[in-house]
Structure 1
Amino acid sequence: MKTLYMKILFTVSIIAVLLGCEKPDYITPNDQTDILKVYASVEDEPAKETFSSRIVGDTIFLDVDYYYPINSDNEVDLSKLLLYAQIPQNAKITPALRGFTDLSSPIKVKITGGGGSDKEYIIKANKRGNTDVLSAKLEFDDINGDVVESTAIIIGNDLNFSVVPGTIMRNPRVTYSLNRHAQGSFVNGSTVNLDQPLTFTVTSVGNAKKDYTMKVVEAKKLPRGIREGSAKVMFAKRMKGDLGITTENLASGLALSGKYLVVNIAGQRSIYLDALTGQKVGDVDLSISGVLHNNNVTSDDAGNILVCNYSWGGGDVFKVYKKSSVSGALEPFISAPLFNSFGEKISVAGDITKDAIITSPLVGIGESNWFARWQVKNGVVVSQDPEVVNLSPSYKWNWSNADVIHTSSTDIAASYYVTGYSTNRLAKINGSTNGLLEQNTALDLNFISNSVDYMEFNNAKFVTYNYVNSQPWGSADQVFLLNAESPLVGNPSTGSSLGLIWSPAAGLYGAAAAGGSYNSSGKGDVIMGVSENGYYMYLYFMFTNGYVVGVQFDCVDL
């Protein structure tokens, strides 16, 4: 037993000796010698990265402002800078950066790595005035004389002004902001030519100089809808005082064709305006045969004009003519003997040279809920005889006050909108069942709602309808632009409607405000359009004997 114990003790001792002779692991020191970062501060702000640097090879350029703070008269003393450096682990810098460093002349520093390697650097201070452009703004007059502003997006040496493509910039001028010791290469607020990129140079003390490139860049769009607060009244023209429409109670409708807005005057030569300024451009002949010829007009998405007569019914022929532009020829399009009166309103969704749905409500009787509908496929009217649609009991209207517009150019089962007196609500109808989907609160029954339009713009949907004062007293004469994707809830005339985007004050553009006779005909119209570049949506409306108005909305992402 004793012998066994001794053997075990001997074995353990041998293992201990062997383990005691194993060599320890040593960590190799970091031998890197590259300076990671150098910066400086002033006495009053120790450790703050007041002045940064650029490392180019073995030279470190420290950019020091001539004055600090920039807008003060405190000249920076290069002999009293607090210098800081970030160096690799295990490395050291010589001379050590303690206290003030005099950089009035270049200095040398050496980085010694943990393994003994070293590398020398030269640190040079560039003391120059600050040449940063703090802000810049482009202002110009648009074609209506309104001032438009674009704040520069400053990216490096680029001053980019965001402008919608196709914009006519009249008298463009640029204002800019620099520090008080710097000067720009042209007088602040000067007129500039930005048809091509423009070099703008900023100079300052210490022979500081920096060139910037000023240029106009294409504006970005919001991903959806219109920009909040972008509504701008482009023009408001009095029918009689500004446009020379002296015959009262006959201005009945609007059409939008290219650059022009057509104002229809029932039974007479009509006029067309510049759609952006409202200036009268000329007359246009919309005369077609039939009782009360050119009783009303509208236009499709492509700017084709549709003109309709007023048919009394009982076999009287309802006629629609088309016109590709204000200078184009009138061509027969629809001719249909109808059982009752049509033609007080006509609406179209789509492009009649491709696919479209045309509607006209039955009017002239005490109560109605019928409308006529034609489909156009590949530029051809499917049938001259319309489909007559009955909304009962979903919606009804009285006498000559109603309008219907589809939300699709191809699908008659898609929803559509209707408005009319005396229901005086905007209603959305199920196209498959003709049943009511939703409707908002009724407007005051002393006044009339009789025109509606629908538009899709920048991935969003919009609907608008009117509210006409046909009395010599009271106040209405409003239009309401609504988000068509919001529920129809509330009364827009009181500002309580959900989804209300824009509306003028009651009476602002009516006959009384224009100094005309009261609108005994109760006529008015609304129509919407989109600019060719897709950045603007336009809302146009009129109140007979009152004003013709154009309002612009945009989708620019500021």
Structure 2
Amino acid sequence: MKKNILTIIAICCSVVFIMNGCQQVEDLTPSVSRDGINSLTASFYGDESSENSFTSEIDYERGIITIVFPYNYPRTSDNVLTMDDLKNVRIEANLDDNVTISPPLLYLDLTKENFITVTDQSKNKKEYKIIAEIRKSAEARITSFELRSLGISGIIDEELKTISLISLEDIGEALAEVNISHGATLDPDPRTVALNYDEEVSITVTAQNGVSKSVYKVQKDVPNKVDFGMRTGSAKVLWTKTIMADLGLSELHMTTGIAVTKDYVVVNTRNQPSKYLDRRTGAIVGTMPNMGSIVGSLTNFFATADDGDNILVCNLAPNAGTFKVWNIKGVNGTPELLIDWSGSGSTAIGRKLSVKGSIDGDAIITAAIMGADRTFARWQVIEGVLQSQTPEIVTINGIDGGWGNNADVVYTSATDLDADYFVSYYAPPRKFAWVNGSTNTVKALGPEINANWIQNAADYVVFNKCPYAASNSVNSFTWGSDDSIYLFDASGTSTFTTPVWQAPIGLYGGKDHGGVNANGTGDVILKVSDDGYYMYLYFMFTNGAIVCVQYDCLDI
């Protein structure tokens, strides 16, 4: 019985095996017919540039593959590509699976007609002719639009073909700086014709091929703002000027700070009258003509500016005697003594000076006292009157060591002596500090800065209802890389721990421009445009560069 059962099982297994073995082999041919060849790509031998890749257009019905080359190559150059340049071009094909080409592709002379045969998965064959065409660009775009003399950048809506100029005031006629598609032309050309932008302006862009066109409407606009603070991703470096090469200030270590007025960036250079730059473009405008009485490496030591176009210049005490601060009303003003702290004695002060408000109205002036005591001097101006030549000395709690020659203090209020303030310093805990003005105790700290780098500049402003504070870190060595700027959202202690923007390291410092910043000095200034739509961060590193960064709060 057992033998019969085993026999039956064996017979059943054999039947199953025979049935499976007779199944039809799976058909690997795609159920949907394709053309076999998808594209050809051409490139020049030995050219390592990223743009060395040229695509094709395939006319499957006529059996023609056209490889398209630009009229200019490199694409943004004036070099005109000719057919003679196409005698030895590398060709690569993108094929479907199990598709072959004969003869095989490698290099072709595209000045001649070339033929290939494509054999698909079903062994069907089709012949294609390969030709080359040098084609002028059909792109007709405006990629940037600026009225740089007015500090206005156009906001381009490519879909609607509109360019919005953000201004609350009349703009009038101005020349524009415009970037367009390579080889395209403009009519009218706002780069050479001053147009009146208080009225809507239409500009026609004609592509390099002379056929494709786009019409942009340029209009003054007042857009909505984002709810709070800056628009994410709006940071843009407007200009950079190197102190030695661009500004011609070749003597090392003499450029210590900047003072930013409504229209100018004043570059404080200790042993000569200050040069001033156009705040919007960075172009050199002139040299302050009436500074002669205070020019000197120790008298004209540092400068800052208030909100009323007053430029405050201080000496270095006690090296140059008692501590003094002069006021210069605008770049053409004459120095007038504002502060003479006759009792300053041996107090080391004057490496940094900050002011919040305007000395024509209300202001708080601060200067860090150098050394080990973590103190600063504070003066108050009420309704244009300095309250005392002798400052109040304030001691900060929560900073563990003396900051030596490196510290800066800036208030958040022009009127309230109990208001909070910010301190940038070189001492443990080596973190940008937000200080409670009522208790003079640190209430929040930014990230730790390596002890190799020096912090010694601070500023504060409110932009679109959000408070912002900025600080620096400086490399004073012949080695290493630092020289950065940090912008913080100071709307709460939790947002203060990490910067919302940081300047790239290794681009702007003294060591990066051939003049090691041995004193570790620098400066940082925040300003808000009169219309409230833009915030500007100005910073400098001694022997390095002066930079302007723009942020906006546009709801776009």
**C-alpha separation in 2, matches of 1:334 and 1:323:** 13
Correspondence 1:64-463 to 2 at 5 A:
139-143=144-148, 148-151=154-157, 161-165=163-167, 170=176, 191=189, 194-197=197-200, 215-284=219-288, 285-286=290-291, 287-288=293-294, 292-312=298-318, 316-337=321-342, 338-339=344-345, 340-363=347-370, 365=371, 367-394=372-399, 396-423=401-428, 424-463=430-469
**C-alpha separation in 2, matches of 1:169 and 1:401:** 44
> C-alpha displacement at 1:137, in angstroms?
7.5
Match of 2:84 in 1: none
Greater C-alpha radius of gyration: 1
Deviates more, 1:242-251 or 1:267-276: 267-276
CA contact (8 A) 1:252 1:523 kept: yes
1:292–1:449 Cα change, 3 Å: same
Q: Of 535, 538, 553, which residue of structure 2 is paired with 1:537?
A: 535
**C-alpha separation in 1, matches of 2:378 and 2:413:** 13
Runs of 5+ unmatched residues, structure 2: 1-140, 205-214
Match of 2:502 in 1: 503
Q: Say whether residues 1:477 and 2:483 are aligned partners.
A: yes
Tell me the TM-score normalised to structure 1 length. 0.64
Corresponding residue SS for 1:552: strand
**C-alpha separation in 2, matches of 1:173 and 1:520:** 40
Correspondence 1:540-555 to 2 at 5 A:
540-555=538-553
Deviates more, 1:138-147 or 1:327-336: 138-147
Task: Report the residue type matching 2:199 in the other structure.
Answer: Q
Q: Deviations over 1:149-187 (max 9, x none)?
A: 421797xxxx86432116656167999xxxxxxxxxxx9
Q: Deviations over 1:195-214 (max 9, x none)?
A: 4235899xxxxxxxxx9987
> C-alpha displacement at 1:395, in angstroms?
5.3
> C-alpha displacement at 1:247, in angstroms?
0.9
**C-alpha separation in 2, matches of 1:370 and 1:502:** 29
**C-alpha separation in 2, matches of 1:300 and 1:318:** 19
What's the % identity of the aligned pairs? 38
**C-alpha separation in 2, matches of 1:239 and 1:291:** 17
Aligned length: 390
1:141–1:312 Cα change, 3 Å: same
> C-alpha displacement at 1:141, in angstroms?
3.5
CA contact (8 A) 1:391 1:435 kept: yes
> C-alpha displacement at 1:509, in angstroms?
0.6
Task: Report the residue type matching 2:487 in the other structure.
Answer: L
Q: Deviations over 1:446-476 (max 9, x none)?
A: 1100000001112111000000000111111
CA contact (8 A) 1:163 1:219 kept: no
> C-alpha displacement at 1:551, in angstroms?
0.7
> C-alpha displacement at 1:394, in angstroms?
4.2
Corresponding residue SS for 1:468: strand
Q: Of 466, 470, 474, which residue of structure 2 is paired with 1:468?
A: 474
CA contact (8 A) 1:138 1:161 kept: no
**C-alpha separation in 1, matches of 2:177 and 2:524:** 33
**C-alpha separation in 2, matches of 1:267 and 1:198:** 49
CA contact (8 A) 1:305 1:323 kept: yes
Runs of 5+ unmatched residues, structure 1: 1-135, 176-186, 202-210, 491-496
**C-alpha separation in 2, matches of 1:214 and 1:507:** 38
**C-alpha separation in 2, matches of 1:445 and 1:172:** 45
CA contact (8 A) 1:369 1:396 kept: yes
> C-alpha displacement at 1:303, in angstroms?
2.4
Deviates more, 1:187-196 or 1:269-278: 187-196
RMSD of aligned C-alpha atoms? 3.3
1:169–1:485 Cα change, 3 Å: farther
**C-alpha separation in 2, matches of 1:434 and 1:440:** 17
Corresponding residue SS for 2:148: coil
Q: Deviations over 1:106-160 (max 9, x none)?
A: xxxxxxxxxxxxxxxxxxxxxxxxxxxxxx9795234289984421797xxxx86
Match of 1:528 in 2: 526
1:488–1:199 Cα change, 3 Å: closer
> C-alpha displacement at 1:556, in angstroms?
1.5
**C-alpha separation in 2, matches of 1:357 and 1:292:** 24
**C-alpha separation in 2, matches of 1:326 and 1:271:** 9
CA contact (8 A) 1:396 1:420 kept: no
CA contact (8 A) 1:173 1:191 kept: no
CA contact (8 A) 2:399 2:427 kept: no
Task: Report the residue type matching 2:301 in the other structure.
Answer: N
**C-alpha separation in 2, matches of 1:250 and 1:276:** 24
Task: Report the residue type matching 1:164 in the other structure.
Answer: I
> C-alpha displacement at 1:335, in angstroms?
0.8
Task: Report the residue type matching 2:348 in the other structure.
Answer: S
